[in-house]
Structure 1
Amino acid sequence: MPFYNPFVRRESHSTGSIITYKVLTILTWLVVTVATIYYTFNAPQDDFKKGRGTIWGHNKPTPFALNPALTSIYWIVLWILQIGYVWHLFSSNAGYVQAAASVGSHFILNNLFQFAFVMLFVRGRFILAEVILVLNFLNLTCLYYFHNTHPRFIHTPVVSWPLAWTFVALFWDGAIAAHAKGSAARILANVAIWAIFVYGMSFLTTYRDYTMGFALSVLSASLGVQQFLIKAIALQWIFAFVIMGVLFVASLAIAVPGIFGQQVRFRSQEEPAPTDQERAPLLDD
């Protein structure tokens, strides 16, 4: 019996594999969503007494601390969009089902990694949590570069927004793990924060992916608000708002033409657009 690799890109999936994707997608989504909501308000009740706390209870005043309200809104919107993605697995349109199933393995793995991250983070295991984030970043990066031509109802909730969060979370959790609070840490953070700008612009210029630009602009706003609340006389929040503004305007410049009928595809500009007419309804809004 040949080895089945669920991460290989396929144009079609069997009935059995689609049923498996449906079950595992719903289960893993529920697990990570319930766990995240629970630990937002409750600390874990187990033997990790010294380091345990709620998610935002561990939001230490580091140079990469995020605003709880804005970041929570980001996640609520993402969960709602992911419900839409899950619904497409049950669609009567075979094209929608196949498109949704094609990213199912990575989405399930993302949910498992995110669950593991939350469980470690609330228990104060920040270094192990960072390892999980790195693994999920690799998972989502592979997903992006192998599946960047999907329609927005898949691309946004499954690919770009989870990837944007994971990238920013690497700095958030890493700063907490490193106890980055001193002047030297803030100077280093003033340089490191521009990685968000470079990362976002790379997707905007190469793939014209405004969903990634908008996601990173929201997370940059969250970073800027919290940094201002922590230390008003500082460069970090100024840089965060500059990054937010540039990414937002650049994303808007790409998104608006699509509203008026110009097609915007999530692919390299040098790569020709697909000619398969059967996929056209999927790629156009």
Structure 2
Amino acid sequence: MVLSISNAQGTNLWTNAHNVGLLTQVVTLVTWISSAFISVYFHDRIWEQNYVHQSLFTLDHILGDMVGLFVIQSAHLAYDLYKTSPVGVGVIHFQFILNNVFHLAFILLLVNSFFVAAELVLLLNLVNLRILYFRHPVCRLLIRTATMSGPLAWTIVAMYWNGSMMVPDPISTACRVASQISTWGIFACGVIFAFAHQDCIITYSLSLLSGALGVAQLRNQLVPFQWVSSFTVTTTLYVITVVLIIQRWKLRMMELRSSFDKESDKVLEADKAETYNYEA
């Protein structure tokens, strides 16, 4: 009787977890589709705002586009829907849903020139993504790229980008100083994530986005040689990314070699034991 009640309770718990997980997967998919659709629908308007409100933090529309991130996120969602049981859905999904909602709100505010409100939304999403990042230091590369490192890198740069559009005089002395500080702030973020967390994804993403900044600065020439700092940051972060990838590859090779050596030792010991038994 007690065993029957225990089994029934276990079944109910599993069913509830399955239902909650399934609902979370559906909400994740709906919010991501909405976020991606709005970004694509207002694509031209977003970059029109970028060039109408030219500043020292205007981005190149090709390098700064989020299409690549959406492609990676779609791969993550496809893997999640087909390979992950709803019961196994975790906290990552809830905060990824928040990221989708915040991004959707940011785009709608940006295209309607509500830059102050958009900056507040970006700040909230930055807090959300940082919490998500530090709560899950170890996870699959696809999950980290799609839900943490990629969105976090873009949000960091977007805060500077959107903030620069709020300024009435973008080439004033104060704005020039702020632009330089922001550019090297991107570099500082990349270095911190590279050496503290060995995260080559966020380092590469920041390198690419600072390159988008440098290309736009070189084209616009609002301030001569402003682009030098951006390209310096881009090059340095890219080199750091390559170094991190090489180190990770070497570490992986050492782990595989160690595993192979252990298996070889086991086989040799088994052969010796078999030979000893045969001789005995």
Q: Could you state the TM-score of these two structures normalised by the residue count of structure 2?
A: 0.79
DSSP-derived class of the 1:14 partner: helix
DSSP-derived class of the 1:256 partner: helix
**1:193/1:240 contact within 8 Å kept:** yes
DSSP-derived class of the 1:211 partner: helix
AA aligned to 1:68 is: H
Quick one: which of 103, 107, 112 aligns to 1:123? 112
DSSP-derived class of the 1:69 partner: coil
Give the equivalent residue in structure 2 for 1:33.
36
| Structure 1 range deviating more: 205-214 or 172-181 | 172-181
Give the equivalent residue in structure 2 for 1:135.
124
DSSP-derived class of the 2:62 partner: helix
Give the equivalent residue in structure 1 for 2:49.
58
AA aligned to 2:56 is: P
- Rounded to whole Å, the distance in 2 between the matches of 1:177 and 1:71 is 19
Give the equivalent residue in structure 2 for 1:79.
70
**1:91/1:97 contact within 8 Å kept:** no
Q: Number of paired residues?
A: 236
DSSP-derived class of the 1:26 partner: helix
Quick one: which of 111, 115, 121 aligns to 2:100? 111
- Rounded to whole Å, the distance in 2 between the matches of 1:129 and 1:263 is 45
Q: Closer, same or farther in 2 for the Cα pair 1:55/1:97, shift >3 Å?
A: farther
**1:90/1:97 contact within 8 Å kept:** no
DSSP-derived class of the 1:62 partner: coil
AA aligned to 1:141 is: R
- Rounded to whole Å, the distance in 1 between the matches of 2:95 and 2:235 is 31
Quick one: which of 44, 69, 72 aligns to 2:62? 69
AA aligned to 1:219 is: L
- How does 1:154-233 map onto structure 2 within 5 Å? 154-184=143-173, 185-231=175-221
Give the equivalent residue in structure 2 for 1:259.
249
**1:117/1:129 contact within 8 Å kept:** yes
DSSP-derived class of the 1:178 partner: coil
Q: Tell me, yes or no, if structure 1 residue 16 matches structure 2 residue 19.
A: yes
Which consecutive residues of structure 1, in runs of 5 or more, have no partner in the other structure? 1-12, 42-53, 265-285
**2:191/2:203 contact within 8 Å kept:** yes
- Rounded to whole Å, the distance in 1 between the matches of 2:122 and 2:169 is 18
Looking at secondary structure, tell me which structure has more helix per residue.
2
RMSD after superposition: 2.1
**2:171/2:222 contact within 8 Å kept:** no
The offset of 1:199, in angstroms, is: 0.7
- How does 1:229-240 map onto structure 2 within 5 Å? 229-231=219-221, 234-240=224-230
**1:88/1:97 contact within 8 Å kept:** no
The offset of 1:70, in angstroms, is: 1.1
Q: Could you state the TM-score of these two structures normalised by the residue count of structure 1?
A: 0.78
Quick one: which of 94, 114, 136 aligns to 1:147? 136
**1:213/1:248 contact within 8 Å kept:** yes
Write the deviation string for residues 73-132 of structure 1: whole angstroms up to 9, x where unpaired. Answer: xx11111110111122223455x983x644101110000000000001000100000000
Write the deviation string for residues 136-192 of structure 1: whole angstroms up to 9, x where unpaired. Answer: 000001011111211101000100010000000000000101234223112331223
Q: Closer, same or farther in 2 for the Cα pair 1:188/1:262, shift >3 Å?
A: same
- Rounded to whole Å, the distance in 2 between the matches of 1:258 and 1:146 is 22
The offset of 1:263, in angstroms, is: 7.5
- Rounded to whole Å, the distance in 2 between the matches of 1:125 and 1:149 is 37
AA aligned to 2:33 is: L
Which consecutive residues of structure 2, in runs of 5 or more, have no partner in the other structure? 1-15, 255-280
Give the equivalent residue in structure 1 for 2:238.
248
- Rounded to whole Å, the distance in 2 between the matches of 1:16 and 1:180 is 53
AA aligned to 1:168 is: V
